Amino acid sequence: MKAIQFKAADSIVAEMIEIEKPSAKGRDVLVRVDAIAMNPVDTKVRPKVGDDDRILGFDAAGTIVECGELVDRLELGDMVYYSGNIQRSGSNAEFQLVDERLVGRRPGSISPAQAASVPLTAVTAWEALFDRLLIDRNGGNSGQTLLIIGGAGGMGSMGIQLAKLAGLTVVATASREESSAWCRELGADHVIDHRDPLLPQLQQLGVEAVDYIANFNNTSAYWEAMGEIVAPQGKVVLIVEPEGALQLGGAFKSKSVTIVWEFMATRPIFNTPDVGRQAWILDQITELIESGNLRTTVGEVMGTINVENLVAAHQAIESGRTIGKLVLEGWD
């Protein structure tokens, strides 16, 4: 089967290679990959690709072509989507093995490219809001305010929509006209510019403090600002490794702020007893898409899955200026 392999190099170097098609055992399903999406994590793992010849790719939509002997919730021919396990071989290949406990049945009403845009960000945003910040998705926190830093990226695009479904007032950050417009289209009540100080912009909106902050961008750059704008007894979720040590005291201590991490690879890597929640989350997401309550977040279809298009997708993600998700569909 074909696979695209990146090299550990200063520039972005990849080649199409031919490798043996794996076969499914245990709880694994073998999926024929029809479309993939690009994530910043690809660019973060890329420099670490070394002797293990790992294949990258952490979002896919495809069709099950083989089931391991212990698979009991999915079947041959199921149309599925998933992010998978960051420690295993990824979706930049014609076929991929993935544990069924990480796999959802994808909506039939959308294209493979649209479906591929969903899993990693949907699972992370869901876990961040509902499993870590413990926001009640059935409206129990309705009217409370959430600030999403990085509103127009893949993460923000899902986060805005899920938070609105839970009844929150959402303030998203974006720095350009087109990214601000994207946030508003997805339901953000207000958009402020992350290049300018956040507190005065919130005050202009009549918001003195926010109950929740989902920092979906640079943890260190917004640390001090988050201490200023979070409400007493408010909650902050972080998803990006900080650049250095963080000062946990000060405003965070005096306000008794809850600070929590979200890493979507935690459940798969540690094989936690609730690892199957990721498949369950994807099934909830499918229902929301099929009922018209959640949009997929394709920003750009980059073409078919080949070296040139995938390298271009890596370059675009590294610019930090993409809107929504970059996807590739079909093999040349």
**Cβ of residue 80: shortest distance to ligand NAP, in angstroms?**
20
CA-CA distance, 237 to 90, in Å (whole number)? 27
**Cβ of residue 208: shortest distance to ligand NAP, in angstroms?**
22
Phi-psi region of 22 (alpha: psi -120 to 50; beta: other; left: phi over 0): beta
Span near ligand NAP by CB under 6 A; candidates 93-101, 129-137, 210-218, 303-311 = 210-218
Choose between 169 and 297: whose C-beta lies nearer to ligand NAP: 297
In the numeric block, the tokens 């694994």 are attached to 28
**237 belongs to the binding site for ligand NAP (CB under 6 A):** no
**323 belongs to the binding site for ligand NAP (CB under 6 A):** yes
**117 belongs to the binding site for ligand NAP (CB under 6 A):** no
**Cβ of residue 279: shortest distance to ligand NAP, in angstroms?**
17
Binding pattern to ligand NAP, positions 15-54, x when CB under 6 A? ------------------------xxx--x----------
Nearest to 160 by CA among 180, 140, 132, 134: 180
Q: Where would I find the H helices in the chain?
A: 40-45, 112-116, 119-126, 154-165, 177-185, 198-204, 223-229, 251-254, 266-270, 277-290, 307-319
Nearest to 262 by CA among 100, 126, 63: 126
Instruction: Considering only residues 259 through 318, tell me which ones interact with ligand NAP, judged by CB under 6 A.
Output: 262-264, 317
Percent helix / strand / coil, the chain, rounded to 5: 30, 25, 45
**174 belongs to the binding site for ligand NAP (CB under 6 A):** yes
Q: Which residues bind ligand NAP (CB under 6 A)?
A: 39-41, 44, 120, 124, 149-150, 152-156, 173-176, 179, 194, 216-218, 221, 239-240, 262-264, 317, 320-323
